A and B are shown apart, each in its own frame.
Chain A
Amino acid sequence: MYLMTLEGNLHVAPLDNPHKILDIGTGTGIWAMCVPIPKYPQSHSIPCSLIWKSVLTWFPFHSEMADAYPSAHVIGTDLSPIQPFFVPPNCAFEIEDLNLDWSYPNNHFDFIHVRELFGCVTDWDEFFASAFSHTKPGGYVEILEHSVWPVSDDDTVTEEHFFTLWGKTVVEMGEKFGKSFTIWEESRERMERAGFVDVVEKKYKWPMNGWPSPEHRTHGDDGEKSWRRLREIGVWNQLRLYDGIEGFMIRLLTVAGGVSLSLSSSRPLTPFPSLQQTNKPY
């Protein structure tokens, strides 16, 4: 979805022959390394042919960061060692907790990449201060984040809509959890506060499903994408949420929400109790 959003680009910062690159919260490592040929998708309600065609469209050359910059050394860090062992020689993965002191020298990286760390960082100012310290003078830090609170440009998402309740619940539980979900709208200010200069912000919109059409589309800061591209992103977003919502919500619901594991597993998709009730089982 990020490749679609960035129209095939791995990043938007104007890098100049970077040598040392850090991908914080690398997850599967897909950004940092060469993308393996994906298995044929199964058990999805979306037509497999559509998924397969889209995968081949967006990953035709299996080219990711380590491949895109062969002269660079790319390090991906994460709490979970879920990355594959077979990676490009200029790519490595290390276990690292971004909320602790970083185990790298200061002024070390030409580029630090951050993507979807909402809900993972205890102090974003401290995080950006660390990123600033570990970036070489002249180097770049880039962060991509999305909101968790669906909204609309028309009046189809009202105060009473489930999406509003969901967004409000996630944001408030994030605050209660001590790791906010609102960094998507705070990144620019926090980076400038940390000392970065020439800070650039680009905005996009991810439809919640394939609703964009010739008659209806997002407006404003949506990257001026065609309705077809917006629909494509929306279909993927729906699939992502459909399959992932339980994983996204279960920790928040159990730890911050006080909901029992069995209930949060069985009912992660139903309207949540209001936060005033979240300390009580429901």
Chain B
Amino acid sequence: MRTAIKDLKTHAYLDVTVVYGRKPGGKPKPKTEPAPEPAKSTGYQGDVVTIPEDYQGLP
């Protein structure tokens, strides 16, 4: 396994899904009410960590 996951020539990935749903009902929202807040963030979107262009994989 550890050998396989070091192989940069194998372009493998794992699928990831996020699913959400609402339970019907609840208080009807007045039309003047502002839209629900977007999903809360940690407050920082994060720059992509710099990995060298000539990255050759982990040792």
Write out the residue numbers on chain B whose beta carbons fall within 8 Å of the beta carbon of A270: 1
Contact with B along A206-217 (1 / 0, CB 8 A): 111111010010
Cα A59 to Cα B55 with chains together (Å): 25
Give Cα A63–Cα B45 distance, bound, in whole angstroms: 13
Selected interface stretch from A49-57, A79-87, A258-266: A49-57
Q: Which one of A61, A201, A234 lies within 8 Å of B19 (CB-CB)?
A: A201
By the criterion CB–CB under 8 Å, are B12 and A163 in contact? yes
What are 19 A-B contacts with C-beta separation under 8 Å?
A: A4-B46, A12-B20, A14-B36, A17-B37, A54-B49, A63-B43, A138-B24, A140-B23, A141-B20, A146-B15, A151-B13, A185-B17, A191-B19, A198-B21, A204-B17, A208-B5, A228-B51, A241-B5, A242-B2
Q: Within residues 205 to 243 of chain A, which ones have a CB less than 8 A from any CB in chain B?
A: 205-211, 213, 216, 218, 221-222, 226, 228-229, 231-232, 234-235, 237-239, 241-242
Contact stretch, chosen from A88-96, A97-105, A129-137, A171-179? A129-137
A231 touches B27 (CB 8 A): no
Give bound CA distance, A238 to B17, whole Å.
Answer: 19
Taking CB atoms, residues of chain A closer than 8 Å to B22 are 13, 138-140, 196-198
CB-defined contacts of A235 to chain B, threshold 8 Å: 51, 58
Main secondary structure of the interface of B (DSSP, over half): loop
A-side interface mostly: mixed
CA distance A64 to B15 in the complex (A): 25
Q: Which of B1-44 contact A (CB under 8 A)?
A: 1-2, 4-27, 35-44
Given A57-B49, A235-B58, A156:B18 Cβ within 8 A? no
Cross-chain contact A57 with B15 (CB below 8 angstroms): no
Query: Is A11 close to B, CB under 8 A?
Result: yes
Across-interface contacts of A144 in B (CB, < 8 A): 16-18
A48 within 8 A of B: no
Nearest Cβ in chain A — how far from B34, in angstroms? 9
**Judging by beta carbons under 8 Å apart, are B20 and A197 in contact?**
no
Q: Do B43 and A61 have beta carbons less than 8 Å apart?
A: yes
- Are A15 and B40 in contact (CB-based, < 8 A)? yes
**CB-contact partner of A143 in B4, B14, B20, B36, under 8 A:** B20
Q: Which 6 A-B pairs have the closest CB atoms?
A: A138-B26, A137-B25, A196-B21, A269-B1, A16-B36, A199-B21
Name the B residues within 8 Å of A197 (CB-CB). Answer: 21-24
Q: How far is the CB of A139 from chain B (nearest CB, A)?
A: 5
Q: How far is the CA of A151 from the CA of B48 in the complex (A)?
A: 24
**What are the residues of chain B within 8 A of A45 when measuring CB–CB?**
58-59
CB distance from B5 to the nearest CB of A (A): 5
> Hey, which chain B residues are within 8 Å of A14, CB to CB?
35-39
| Residues of chain A within 8 A of B43, CB atoms compared | 8, 60-61, 63
CA distance A64 to B16 in the complex (A): 21
Closest to A155 in B: B11
Closest to B55 in A: A210
